[in-house]
Structure 1
Amino acid sequence: MRILARGGSALDAVEACAKIIEADTTDTSVGRGGKPNVLGEVELDASIVDGTTHRTGAVAALTGYLHPISVARAVMERTPHVFIVGEGAARFAREIGAERTQNLTPSTRKLWVERLRSVGETPSSIRRRTKLLPVVRKTVREERGTVNFLALDRRGDIASAVTTSGWAYKYPGRVGDSPVVGAGNYSDSRYGAAACTGYGELAIRSVTAKTAVDRLAAGMPPDMVARAAIADANELEDAAFNIVVLSPKGVHASATNREGRRYVWMTTQMEEPMLAARIVVRRAARLSRS
């Protein structure tokens, strides 16, 4: 928030916020300390969107680096590309001098070992397997986590950033919606921004973030945009899903299909951030669309 308070850019602000969480080992859904895939490898995904220039950058399945959001921004600013994945993302991170780290911490390794044990596996046995799918069907549960940030600066520029370690104990190489611009992350300074958390496959199937911004452009208020996004997801399957929406006037809203979910918002005039309840849209709900 200090970046925005002193007149800095929304793009700098969302990157800085994402980096704080990526380095926080107490958050097991992102960055260092994030939960690994079924083989014990922490694969990180991130994307960043400049809502004014419509430039974007993203990385997926990045291993061994602390700040995937900064690597994603470098993809946007230093390459002719938008999206780099896997070994290519790690090679690019190394080339630009990104900070290396061991993202699997002792505490998350312990959680991984415990999950393997619960399905009759060990680190050694899982790595010897030629077929992982039967195990993954047992290891993955509804505990997907992601963090996203939407910001509006003094100039009226909007930016958004999403970063995650993805679905815990996933199949290696699985990529969710977080780095997929238009699915889990989208911003356009003319109309607003949206970003998703939860079961990312739903956002990919519905192109949720871009659809949300299109609804803002059509004049739908943020709270109804958020409701409609969850209703869309609910029609696909019963899985946890959340969205946060921001308008160019600073009006924001968030919705979910699970009870007790909250989101944080703050302005430069506030001393402390505010925790707000998300609108709950139950699966039975059917909303009219535009």
Structure 2
Amino acid sequence: MILLANSEAWPGFDKTVELLKLNACGIDAMIAGISEVEREIKVRSVGYGGWPNMLGKMELDAGVMDGTTREVGSVGAVPDTLPVAALAHEVMKRLPHVMLTGEGARRFATEIGFPVDEVLCEDSKRVWWERLERELSTDERKAFPDIALAPLSRTITDPERVRDTTVFLAQDFAKGIHAVTSTSGWAWKYPGRLGDSPIPGAGFYADSRYGAAACTHTGEMTMRCGTARSIVLALRLGYSLREAVDMAMEDLAQLKTGFLAGVVIHAIDAWGNHDVASFQCPQEIKYWFWEPKMANPEKRIARKYDLQHTT
């Protein structure tokens, strides 16, 4: 068994570990843990503690993949719903579809008994408007939200450049390798924007035969490169986990146009190895790791990748 998650996973990582120790299915264990992250107001990139879009509305994304069956459930731009990873799991279990978005995802949530949740905390609402107000003229403030939003997407940056996601990867007692993601997405994003977190193959991918990968930070880049799937495919072709992650980073480095920033890759393979690497992230990146021989989960430092393969 193995469990890997990014640093924001702290509210629910221990819960997932305990469930894995009890031989729970990896997906069920990770859903239980990530639901705790989604409810934690101190985690400012996911769920209740996350940031709204440009209109001040929360739109949440999540994805789930069963690496043994390669079934996927995904939801995007979901309003008024806090346990979105759990909702993505229900899409996988109950529908012939892979992804639901927006009001359709909320309708499905209501049909299966999910409550309508308050998902915008007061602090996020305050920071959202204070930042937006600085960019608006007097006439625009009076007319808001009936103004052009596209020009603002070039000038407003999110607080602390928060484009993070919560990602969990696990290999469970049955050797199943699975992935779960959840995020509130890019703060002040254009309404309806989807990042990579709900996109299978870009923000997450799992195959129990080989391994799994999930990405955080700049989804606009990993969607262009199919980053998560490329890592698992490289494992299938016989590359080591480190080689597979480095190949994916090299692919990202070839992007020269569009919005470019940092990316963090989290990956595990079917042989018990793991790798977390950051690309063009100025800050130190940390992550959570656990395997059965460890007394307690550990918070570790990710390696930095550059074109010279500096670690």
TM-score over 0.5 for the alignment? yes
Partner of 1:8: 24
CA distance in 2, matches of 1:125, 1:278: 46
Look up the equivalent residue of 1:132 and give its one-letter code.
Answer: L
Matching of residue 17 in structure 1 with residue 39 in structure 2: no
Q: How far off is 1:118 after superposition?
A: 3.0
Partner of 1:128: 145
Q: Is the 8 A contact 1:13 1:151 kept in 2?
A: no
Map Cα deviations across residues 106-143 of structure 1 (whole Å, 9 max, x no partner): 11111102211332369954733331011121113432
Map Cα deviations across residues 174-199 of structure 1 (whole Å, 9 max, x no partner): 00100001110100000000000011
CA distance in 2, matches of 1:208, 1:248: 18
Q: Is the 8 A contact 2:61 2:197 kept in 1?
A: yes
Look up the equivalent residue of 2:213 and give its one-letter code.
Answer: A
Partner of 1:156: 175
Look up the equivalent residue of 1:246 and give its one-letter code.
Answer: I
Q: How far off is 1:159 after superposition?
A: 0.7
Q: TM-score, normalised by structure 1?
A: 0.93
Give the secondary-structure state (helix, strand or coil) at the position aligned to 1:139: coil
Q: Is the 8 A contact 2:61 2:78 kept in 1?
A: yes
Give the secondary-structure state (helix, strand or coil) at the position aligned to 2:47: coil
Partner of 1:82: 98
CA distance in 2, matches of 1:10, 1:162: 13
Percent sequence identity over aligned pairs: 37
Partner of 1:39: 55
Q: How far off is 1:160 after superposition?
A: 0.3
Query: 1:249/1:286 Cα in 2 relative to 1: closer, same or farther (>3 Å)?
Result: closer
Partner of 2:12: none
Q: How far off is 1:62 after superposition?
A: 0.1
Gaps of 5+ in 2: 1-16
Look up the equivalent residue of 1:191 and give its one-letter code.
Answer: Y
Partner of 2:264: 242
Q: Which has the higher contact order (CA 8 A, sep 6+)?
A: 2
Q: Is the 8 A contact 1:227 1:279 kept in 2?
A: no
Q: Is the 8 A contact 2:133 2:141 kept in 1?
A: no
Q: How far off is 1:94 after superposition?
A: 0.8
Give the RMSD, CA atoms, in angstroms. 1.8
Give the secondary-structure state (helix, strand or coil) at the position aligned to 2:49: coil
Q: TM-score, normalised by structure 2?
A: 0.87
Map Cα deviations across residues 230-277 of structure 1 (whole Å, 9 max, x no partner): 222122144110101101122100111224112111123433221222
Q: Is the 8 A contact 2:45 2:165 kept in 1?
A: yes
Partner of 1:28: 44
Give the secondary-structure state (helix, strand or coil) at the position aligned to 2:48: coil
Matching of residue 281 in structure 1 with residue 305 in structure 2: yes
Partner of 1:171: 190
Map Cα deviations across residues 35-88 of structure 1 (whole Å, 9 max, x no partner): 000110010000000000111100000010110101100000011111000110
Gaps of 5+ in 1: none
Give the secondary-structure state (helix, strand or coil) at the position aligned to 2:76: strand
Query: 1:219/1:227 Cα in 2 relative to 1: closer, same or farther (>3 Å)?
Result: same
Map Cα deviations across residues 5-37 of structure 1 (whole Å, 9 max, x no partner): 011111112211211111111111111121000
Give the secondary-structure state (helix, strand or coil) at the position aligned to 1:160: strand
Q: Equivalent of 1:119, from 135, 149, 167?
A: 135
Moved more, 183-192 or 130-139: 130-139
Count of aligned pairs between the two proteins:
286
CA distance in 1, matches of 2:82, 2:204: 21
Q: Is the 8 A contact 1:255 1:280 kept in 2?
A: yes
Q: Equivalent of 1:267, from 288, 291, 305?
A: 291
Matching of residue 106 in structure 1 with residue 122 in structure 2: yes
Q: Is the 8 A contact 1:49 1:161 kept in 2?
A: yes
Q: Is the 8 A contact 1:139 1:169 kept in 2?
A: yes
Runs of 4+ displaced beyond 4 Å: 121-126, 284-287
Q: Is the 8 A contact 1:76 1:82 kept in 2?
A: yes
Q: How does 1:138-149 map to 2 (within 5 A)?
A: 138-141=155-158, 142-149=161-168
Partner of 1:193: 212
Q: Is the 8 A contact 1:162 1:185 kept in 2?
A: yes
Look up the equivalent residue of 1:250 and give its one-letter code.
Answer: G
Give the secondary-structure state (helix, strand or coil) at the position aligned to 1:150: strand
